[in-house]
Amino acid sequence: MLRFRPQSSAINQRTVAILGLLLACLAFTATLGWQAWQAQRSNASVAASLIHDYSALAADEFERRFTTALSNYGHRTLVKAIENANSAGEMQAAVGPGASEWVRSAAALSAGFFMHDGVQLDMSAGAPSNDLVRLITDLRQNDDDFFAPFQLAHTESSGERVIYLFRAEDDGSRVLFGYVLDPAGFRGFIERSLGKRPLLPESAADGRVNNDMLFVEVLDPLKRPVYRVNPQFENALMAVREFTPDPTDGIPKGYSVRISLDPHVASQLIIGGLPETRLPILLAALAASVMLLVSAILLFIREAAVMKLREEFVSQVSHELRTPLTQIRMFAETLLLGRARNPEEERRSLTIIDRESRRLSHLVENVLRISKVSDEIQLDSGQEALKPLLEDIAATAQSIHPTVTVQLSVAGEPEAWIDRNALRQVVINLLDNAIKYGPDGQTVTVTAAGNDETATLAVEDQGPGIPESERKRVWSTFYRLGRERDTAIGGTGIGLAVVRKLIKAMRGECRIETPQSGLGTRVVIELPAHAPSGPGNDE
C-alpha cells in the first residue's frame, strides 16, 4: 500500500532547511562584520594613540623653540640695546626708528622702561602704579641677582611683570633698570617658532606633515587664548604642555600650549599606512542578508497562507461538488429503479436533478474562470439589451429557489457593451451569493438603468451585510468572511473574484454599498453603454 507524505509537511521541512541556511549565512556575515569592527576599533585606537604622541612631540618642540626665541632674540636683544642708557628716555630712544629690525621686533615685549639709581625711579611710560613702584624699590634693595643676565618679577596684586637687571657704575654704585613686560609681544615670537620649519621631525611622513596641519593655541595663566591657529584641527587627541621656564627665560609661569594634529594624516605617519577596512562592505552584506532573511520569511508566510487557502478551496470545492452529485445520483437512482410512486414525485426528482446540475455547472464554470486568472480573458463583446438577459436569469433563479423572491426592476431599455455569457455568469454569481447568505423568504432585488455613457445594474439582498472594513478584501480570490468560515454555509471564495475579473475585462467597475434600508448588501455594477476605445482593461 502506497503512502503519500502530506504536501504541507514537505513544505515545512523545505522551509526549515532554507531558513536554516539563511540564518547560517546571516550568522557568518555577522561574525565577519564583528571581526571587521574589532579590527577597525583597533586601527582607530592605534591611530588615536599615534596622533596624540605626535601632538605631544610637536608641543615639546614648540616649547623649546618658543623659549629659545623669546630668551635669545627677545629679552637678550632688548637688554643689550638698553644696557648703556642713562635714563628711561634714552632706553625708549634706543629702540626707536633708528634701531635695527631685530631690536624693534624685541621692543614689542616692552610696555615701558624704568631706571632706579637708588634715589629716584625714572619711567618712560608715565606715572607707574603704586604696586609697580613698590616692586621696583624692593628689587633695588635686593641685589642678590646682580650677576644674572636678567630676571623676571611681578607684583602681587595687579600682576604687572618686569624684566630687570643691575649695572655697575664707575663710582661703584649699582643701577637697577629694565622694562615692564607686555605679553602681547609674545605673538611675534610664537609665529617665529611656527614659521621656521615643521614642528615634527623631517623623518615623520617624509616631511609631508607641516605646521599647517596643526592646531596650536597658547594660553595665558588665566587660560585665555593669546594665539590660536588652524582651529579646524582641534580635537580630543590634543597634547597640553605647561611651560616650565627658567627664571632667565623671561616667560611668566602658568603659560601653556595646546597642540593637536589633523587626524587624517595618521595614515601618512604609520609606515605602510593604516590597514584598509572592509567594514562598510561587510555591513552592506549583513544588511543584504537581513533583508533576504526577512524577505524569505515573508515569502514563506505568504506561501503558507496561499497553501492554506488552496487547501480550504479544494475542501470547499470538493464539498460543493459532492453535494449536487449526491443529489443527482440519488434521484437518478430513484427514477431508474422505478421508486417514484406517482408522476408528481417523478417531476420533483427531475426538477431536483435539473437544479443540482445547473448548480454543478455554475460551480465548474467559476472554477474554470478562476483557473485562468493569470491569462488574458478573451470576450466576444457587443451592444446588448440588458432587460431580456436579466429577465431570463431572474426567472431561472426564481424557479430554482422557490423560497426566495427574486424581484426585477429595469428602468427603460438600457443597453451596454458586454459579453452575454460573461454578464450572465456575473449576475448568476451575485444572485447565488445573495440567496446563499440571506435568510429564507427574503426578497432579492435586481435593478438596472442606463444613460448615454454607462449602464448600471445592482443586486440587493436582505442578508447580514458585509462590514465596510472588508468590502475591498471580499473581491480577492479564495477570501471568505470570518463568520462564513465558522458556519455550515458552503462557499469557495471565488464567486466575487470571478465577478471582478469579468467586469474589469468588459471595461466596467464594481463596488459594494449599504442599501438605503441599512440592512443587507448591495453590489453595484457599472458597464460602458457603448464600445470603449482602446484595448480591453484586464488585470
pLDDT digits (tens, 9 = 90+) for 388-446: 999 988 888 887 778 889 999 999 899 999 888 888 888 888 888 888 888 888 999 99
Q: What is the pLDDT of residues 64-111, one digit of tens each?
A: 889 888 888 888 999 999 988 989 999 999 998 888 888 999 999 999
CB-CB contact of 418 with 506 (8 Å): yes
- Tell me what pLDDT residue 537 has: 45
CB-CB contact of 82 with 74 (8 Å): no
Partnered with residue 256 across adjacent β-strands are 219, 242
Phi-psi label, residue 112: left if phi above 0, alpha if psi -120 to 50, beta otherwise: left
| H or E stretch at 112 | strand 110-116
Q: Which residues make Cβ contacts (< 8 Å) with residue 407, sequence separation at least 6?
A: 443, 444, 445, 446
Q: What percent of the chain has pLDDT over 70?
A: 83
Q: Which residues make Cβ contacts (< 8 Å) with residue 8, sequence separation at least 6?
A: 307, 311
Cell numbers for 352? 431536483
* Helix, strand counts (H, E) of the chain: 13, 16
Cell numbers for 90? 634714552
Overall size of the chain counted in residues: 539
Classify domain 380-528 by CATH architecture. 2-Layer Sandwich (3.30)
Residue 247's pLDDT band, with cuts at 50, 70 and 90, is low
Partnered with residue 180 across adjacent β-strands are 162
d(CA 125, CA 143): 24
Cell numbers for 170? 664707575
- How high does pLDDT run on average in the chain? 80
d(CA 117, CA 45): 62
CB-CB contact of 455 with 449 (8 Å): yes
- Tell me what pLDDT residue 480 has: 67
CB-CB contact of 108 with 75 (8 Å): no
- Ranges assigned E (strand) in 432-491: 443-450, 454-460
d(CA 49, CA 62): 20
Task: Report which listed range, 116-120, 146-150, 494-498, is most confident.
Answer: 116-120
Q: How far is CA 298 from the centre of its chain?
A: 22
Residue 449's pLDDT band, with cuts at 50, 70 and 90, is very high
- Tell the residue number behind the cell numbers 619711567, with chain if given: 123
The DSSP letter of residue 204 is G
d(CA 391, CA 371): 29
Task: Report which listed range, 31-45, 48-62, 363-377, is most confident.
Answer: 48-62
Q: What is the pLDDT of residues 314-357, one digit of tens each?
A: 666 665 666 678 778 887 887 888 777 788 878 778 877 877 78
Evaluate if residue 492 carries a pLDDT over 60: no
Q: What percent of the chain has pLDDT over 90?
A: 14
Cell numbers for 412? 427603460
- Tell the residue number behind the cell numbers 642678590, with chain if given: 144
- Tell me what pLDDT residue 532 has: 78
- Tell the residue number behind the cell numbers 471582478, with chain if given: 500
Evaluate if residue 274 carries a pLDDT over 60: no
Residue type, 316: Q
Domain ranges of the chain: 7-277, 380-528
Partnered with residue 449 across adjacent β-strands are 456
What 3-state class would DSSP assign to 169?
A: coil
Q: What is the pLDDT of residues 158-174, one digit of tens each?
A: 778 888 888 888 887 88
Evaluate if residue 230 carries a pLDDT over 80: yes
CB-CB contact of 152 with 247 (8 Å): yes
| CA distances to 12, 25, 307, 381, 511 from 16, in Å | 6, 14, 16, 50, 41
Cell numbers for 386? 440588458
| CA distances to 141, 177, 467 from 123, in Å | 18, 10, 103
Residue 258's pLDDT band, with cuts at 50, 70 and 90, is very high
In 3D space, the residue among 454, 1, 32 whose CA is nearest the CA of residue 279 turns out to be 32
Average pLDDT of the segment spanning 496-509: 86
Evaluate if residue 218 carries a pLDDT over 90: yes
Residue type, 204: A
**Longest pairwise C-alpha distance within the chain:** 168
